[in-house]
Amino acid sequence: MNYRNGKLCNWKKTFHPKSSATPLNRHSHKKLLLLFLFTSLSGCETLGYYRQAISGHLSLLNQSKAVSHYLASTTTPAPLKAQLKKVVALRSFAEKELLLPVKKQYSRYVSLDRKYVVWNVFAAPEFSLEPKIWCYPIAGCASYRGYFAEKNAQKFAQKLATQGFDVYVAGIDAYSTLGWFKDPILSSFIDRSDVDLANLIFHELAHQRLYIKNDTVFNESFATVVAQEGVKRWLQQENNPSAYQSFLDDQKKQQDFINLVIRYQQKLVTLYHSTLKDSEKRTQKAALITQLKSQHQELKMNWGGYSDYDPWFHQAINNAQLSTVSTYFDLVPELSALLVQQNNNLANFYQAARILAKKRHE
């Protein structure tokens, strides 16, 4: 999602270099053909969805250029070069210190003509926090549906809304193809701060270390824990105590945010399971969401005016939006404890996490 670190971020404009098309290799074409063969067995509407997904990703790959090209070019702006060098360093750290399968991931760069790379649509029933699930070939099932064009995402969301669902559309600045393709660096996230850039790279690479089909909660929580541990280790290696303290402060605010949302999720679940009439549930649901927003303002005062979560709360909050917090963080405490149990040994942690994931599906 747009808040890989638990918060919505505002992105600055970045450099948009011209890029010529780079042909896909034969192996990539085979992957796309395999995906198409899977999706062609589905209905027309589903087929249309996968066509836009495949063509959208294909467009990114064709536009990409090697990072080495930009670093060697005298026309590449210095700020972009600096950010690309950081990614190179983070890739190396992820591979050597975090034991993540980097391979050729994030070795190419793409300049987008838009703020986000994709828009994800989330949906949940009016009186339930259980998100609607969509299933995909290869990747399995997930609680969102992604579109490379915002208008298509909004159109699909509107269709779900007419069916009575609460819907939420979120701009996404990065995603992972789980190692099927060489995911490029995107202009939608290259301008992040050092810490946020590290968090994103480690998070996405973690999906390639361990990904469980049909278990979004585990996958996102696992990647979140790996990224948090990765950022901690990276900042310690960089000997940057002030940045590390800032990271810890942000983590504390993130946990405050999560605790607040979960507290109101529980209140809503109690309401939805009650015997009240739908009209009464609807009224009380609105009241609880108003209280949630009010509680955020109090929390914000305790944070000294920290406003990074304002965009999230300024929306018409509904079940679909609330469900995304659980999706990304439900298992974070358990997995964090598992890491400690393994004496912070990542190799052992990855093995233990895989066993835990298997038990969840027995």
Q: Residue 13: what pLDDT?
A: 26
Query: Average of pLDDT values for 124-146?
Result: 89
Residues 190-243: tens digit of each pLDDT: 999 999 999 999 999 999 999 998 898 899 999 999 999 999 999 999 998 889
Q: How many domains does the chain have?
A: 1
Q: Residue 178: what pLDDT?
A: 84
Query: Average of pLDDT values for 266-274?
Result: 98
Q: Residue 38: what pLDDT?
A: 45
**Whole-angstrom distance, CA of residue 258 vs CA of residue 125:** 21
Is 123 part of a structural domain of the chain?
Answer: yes
Is 15 part of a structural domain of the chain?
Answer: no
Q: Residue 213: what pLDDT?
A: 87
pTM of the model: 0.82
Q: Starting from the edge strand earliest in sequence, which strands make up the sheet with 145-147, in order?
A: 145-147, 118-125, 165-172
> E strands along the chain, which residues?
65-66, 108-110, 118-125, 134-136, 140-142, 145-147, 165-172, 185-186
Whether the predicted pLDDT of 133 surpasses 80: yes
Whether the predicted pLDDT of 10 surpasses 70: no
Is 275 part of a structural domain of the chain?
Answer: yes
Is 13 part of a structural domain of the chain?
Answer: no
**Whole-angstrom distance, CA of residue 7 vs CA of residue 173:** 13
Is 21 part of a structural domain of the chain?
Answer: no
Tell me the percentage of the chain whose pLDDT exceeds 70.
Answer: 87
Domain of 115?
64-360
Q: Residue 329: what pLDDT?
A: 84
Is 107 in a helix, a strand, or coil?
coil
Q: Residue 51: what pLDDT?
A: 86
What SS3 string covers the chain? Answer: CCCCCCCCCCCCCCCCCCCCCCCCCHHHHHHHHHHHHHHCCCCHHHHHHHHHHHHHHHHHHHHCEEHHHHHHCCCCCHHHHHHHHHHHHHHHHHHHCCCCCCCCCCCEEECCCCCCCEEEEEEEECCCCCCCCEEECCCEEECCEEECCHHHHHHHHHHHHHCCEEEEEEEECCCCCCCCCCCCEECCCCCCCHHHHHHHHHHHHHHHHCCCCCCHHHHHHHHHHHHHHHHHHHHHHCCCHHHHHHHHHHHHHHHHHHHHHHHHHHHHHHHHCCCCCHHHHHHHHHHHHHHHHHHHHHHHHHCCCCCCCHHHHCCCCCHHHHHHHHHHHCCHHHHHHHHHHCCCCHHHHHHHHHHHHHHHCC
Residues 96-121: tens digit of each pLDDT: 999 999 999 999 999 999 999 999 99
Instruction: Look at 33-37, 71-75, 175-179 and tell me which has the smallest mean pLDDT.
Output: 33-37
Is 234 part of a structural domain of the chain?
Answer: yes
Q: Are strands 140-142 and 134-136 parallel, antiparallel or unpaired?
A: antiparallel
Whether the predicted pLDDT of 277 surpasses 60: yes
Q: Residue 43: what pLDDT?
A: 52
Confidence of residue 324 (pLDDT cuts 50, 70, 90): very high
Task: Specify whether the CB–CB gap between 276 and 300 falls below 8 A.
Answer: no
Is 22 part of a structural domain of the chain?
Answer: no
- Which token pair is 167? 């819907």
- Which token pair is 95? 């591979």
Residues 250-265: tens digit of each pLDDT: 989 999 999 999 999 9
Is 12 part of a structural domain of the chain?
Answer: no
Confidence of residue 28 (pLDDT cuts 50, 70, 90): very low
**Whole-angstrom distance, CA of residue 346 vs CA of residue 158:** 43
- Which token pair is 4? 């890989």
- Which token pair is 333? 């405490």
Instruction: Look at 16-30, 163-177, 241-255 and tell me which has the smallest mean pLDDT.
Output: 16-30
